[in-house]
Structure 1
C-alpha cells in the first residue's frame, strides 16, 4: 500500500465526476455507501435516458459495493489511498459497464458468499482488474444484446483501472464472459 507520505496529490478526486458517457463517485468506507451508490446509479442512468437496464445495474453495483465494504477494506489502513471506494459507470450506446474500485489486494471469490452469484446472474460478463499497489476493481457488463462490453468501454475501464489501482499495465480478468468478449479482454 502507498503511504500517506508518498501520495501524489493530483490523484485525489472530487466526490463525483460525470460526463456524457462515464460517471464516477467516490464513496466513504461505511455501510451507508451502498445507498449512495444506488442513488448515484439511478441519477446517472436517468440523465443518460438508459433506465431500461437500471434494475440490473442497480443490483450489480449494490452487490459490488457490499463486497468491497466486506472484503476489499479488510486489513487495509484506516485511510486507504487513493480512495476508500469508487463506483464507475461507463456507457457505450445502450450498453453499460459498472465497476467498483477498492484498496484491497484480494481477488473476488464466488465461494465467499452470495454477492458474486447475484452479479453473475444479472450481468452479461463480469470480472476484475489485476490488483495494483492501490487495489483492484470488480466490474460487470450489462447490455441489451446479451453480449459483452464494447471495445471502447473496455479501454476506458483500463484507464480507470490504471488510475485507481496504480497498476501501470492494468489487465482485466474475466470470470464470466459473453461470447463476444472472449477475444476482447
Structure 2
C-alpha cells in the first residue's frame, strides 16, 4: 500500500520529480544550492540526451541560482513558504528551458551585476514571471538551433503551470527580457 503525499507540493517537489521532458528540484537556501543545481541540470540533460546544450544550460542555471540566493532570499523572505528555491528544467524537442523560483518579489535588473549579462549571453531568450504572493521565477530558454525564438508553446504552458504552483499567482504571466515576445502567452 502506498500513501499519498500530504501536500500537493510533495507531489511536484519531493527530492526530485521528473518526467519525460520536465524535472524539478527543491534546493537548499544556502550556497550549496548552486552546486546541487549544476549536478541536477547536468544529470537531467544526460538522461534526456541533450548534452550538447549542457554548457549553456549549466551556466544559466548557476547564474540564476546565484541571483536567487543573493536577491530572492533577503529581507522578509528569509523564511519562505512554500519553498526556499526550486530549479526546473523543461524540454520540448531539442530546446531546453531552465527556471529558478525564489520567494522574492523584486524584478531582475540586468544593470545590477554581471549574472544576468551572462544569462543573456548563453540563452536565446530569458525573462521572469510576474511575482505572485510566494515569489517569482527567472527563466532562460536555450535552443539547439540558436534561433533566438524563445521557448516553445508547450514549454510555456508547463512553465506557467509551475509558476502558478510555486508563486501562488492565479493568473501567471511571463515577461521576456529586452526582446519582442515571439510566443503566445508571453508578456
Please give the alpha-carbon distance, in whole angstroms, between the structure 2 residues aligned to 1:94 and 1:130: 27
- Deviation string, structure 1 residues 32-60 (Cα, Å, up to 9, x no partner): 11000000000000000000111000000
Structure 1 moving runs of 4+ over 3 Å: none
Answer yes or no: is the 8 Å Cα contact 1:120–1:176 preserved in 2.
Answer: no
Deviation at 1:28, TM superposition (A): 0.8
2:8 maps to which residue? 10
TM-score by length of 2: 0.90
Q: Is the 8 A contact 1:64 1:100 kept in 2?
A: yes
Deviations 1:140-183 (A, max 9, x none): 00001222111000000000000000000000011043x77265
Contact 1:124/1:176, CA 8 A, preserved across alignment: no
1:109-166 CA distance string (max 9 Å, x none): 0111100000000000000000000000000000012221110000000000000000
**SS of equivalent to 1:158:** helix
State the Cα deviation string for residues 40-93 of structure 1 (Å, max 9, x = none): 000000000000111000000000000000000011344311110000000000
Match of 1:166 in 2: 168
Aligned-partner Cα distance in 2 for 1:9–1:184: 28
Report deviation, 1:10.
3.1
Q: How does 1:116-127 map to 2 (within 5 A)?
A: 116-127=116-127
The root-mean-square deviation of aligned C-alpha atoms, in Å, is 1.6
**Corresponding residue for 2:151?**
149
TM-score of the aligned structures, taking structure 1 as reference length? 0.91
Distance between the aligned counterparts of 1:79 and 1:142, measured in 2? 32
2:182 corresponding residue in structure 1:
181
Q: How does 1:39-78 map to 2 (within 5 A)?
A: 39-78=39-78
Please list every run of 5 or more consecutive structure 2 residues that lacks an aligned counterpart in the other structure: 1-5
